[in-house]
Amino acid sequence: MKRIILLALTNFAVVAVLFITWNIISAVFGIRVQGGFGGIAVMAVIFGFAGSLISLLMSKWMAKRSMGVEIIEHPRTSQERWLVETVRRQADKVGIGMPEVGIFHSPDPNAFATGANRNNALVAVSTGLLEHMNADEVEAVLGHEIGHVANGDMVTQALLQGVVNTFVIFFARVIGMVVDGLFRGNNDNSGPGFGYYIGSIVAEILLGFLATMIVMWFSRYREFKADIAGADLAGRQKMIAALRRLQRVHEPKDLPGELAAFGISGGGGLGRLFMTHPPLEERIAALQGMQ
């Protein structure tokens, strides 16, 4: 629940900062958006995609900083050499550029992939994953993450977030105009009033939660595809074994923020509608049903 609220508030904060910045620039330079609903739509597209695209471009840098990822530039142990070579072999098999490979310190078994370009991505695994899983299971997890990269999931996620942000911003502003009109009545004073700002903010928060449901649904759908990729690259039984290993680990913690969408395991949050990952038993059943 806390993670979902944090995601919604972060998304709202990015849009709010852009909105305030635009208002300051408009006031200083006398810029006015004309065209009624058309003008609102243009601004909604700009604000809606700006935050998601900026996050996408900064995703690798943010992941390294927030998770403390140590990039394996020169392997020092046999395990690090095996990790790099396994990722290299899988990347060559799916036809993408060699991702950066890293390790982050966490007792929980997890991994994630991120990056704005499928040929310049990052794949990182936790120390807990290396401790809890054997080589076959780690290979399957790496295949799952390479599947995210090869499928372009990071870019698709950013574009989807941009689209839903656009709709949220547009309809929130329209609702704000309606609320403002109700407060003003027959008063034709120029410029938005207090009701517009209050109505827009409240509508944006509520619509933002609905938009999050859409993004989370796509995240769950994408996990099945990444599991199939892991099965293709490492073997179906290895992928099933890796997921079963996650089941046996006592309540593994989810990754923070948007990295949760590209991890190997995920939490429940506020019911199924806000889950980043399908239940592990459903993912295992889907792999078992593969022809």
Best CA proximity match to 264, nearest among 88, 151, 138, 159: 138
Long-range interactions of 201-208: CB distance < 8 A, separation 24+: 201/172, 201/176, 203/171, 203/172, 203/175, 203/176, 204/12, 204/15, 204/168, 204/169, 204/172, 205/8, 205/12, 207/167, 207/168, 207/171, 207/172, 208/8, 208/11, 208/12, 208/168
- Cβ–Cβ under 8 Å, residues 8 and 209: yes
Query: Of the residues 100, 137, 139, 145, which is catalytic?
Result: 145
Q: Residue 113 burial by CB count (10 A; 0-12/13-18/19+): exposed, middle or buried?
A: buried
85 included as an active-site residue: no
Active-site residue set? 145
